[in-house]
Amino acid sequence: MVEQKILDNQKPYEQAYYPPVPTWFTLYLRTSILWQLFRFLVINIKMLILVRKSHS
């Protein structure tokens, strides 16, 4: 019979065994269409600035 070695931080019911759970605000930002649209615009503006600098 093969024994499995369980690491100290992987024992069941220990704090480190459970993955981190996002907060309500993080979940809201991930699903908010307005926030995603805002971030999309910000990233596009940054890219336009970068391209403009490289072509000057």
Residue 35 lies in a domain: yes
**Helix residue spans in 1-56 (DSSP H):** 24-31, 33-54
Q: Is 9 helix (H, G, I), strand (E, B) or coil?
A: helix
List, for residues 30-53, the tens digit of each pLDDT value. 999 999 999 999 999 999 999 999
Among residues 38, 26, 31, the alpha carbon closest in space to that of 46 is found at 38
Through-space distance between the first and last CA atoms of the chain, rounded to whole angstroms: 69
Rounded Cα–Cα distance for residues 4 and 20 (Å): 25
Domain limits at 48? 23-56
Residue 40 lies in a domain: yes
Residue 3 lies in a domain: no
Among residues 27, 10, 8, the alpha carbon closest in space to that of 18 is found at 10
pTM: 0.59
Between 45 and 11, the higher pLDDT residue? 45
Residue 43 lies in a domain: yes
Residue 11 lies in a domain: no
Overall domain count for the chain: 1
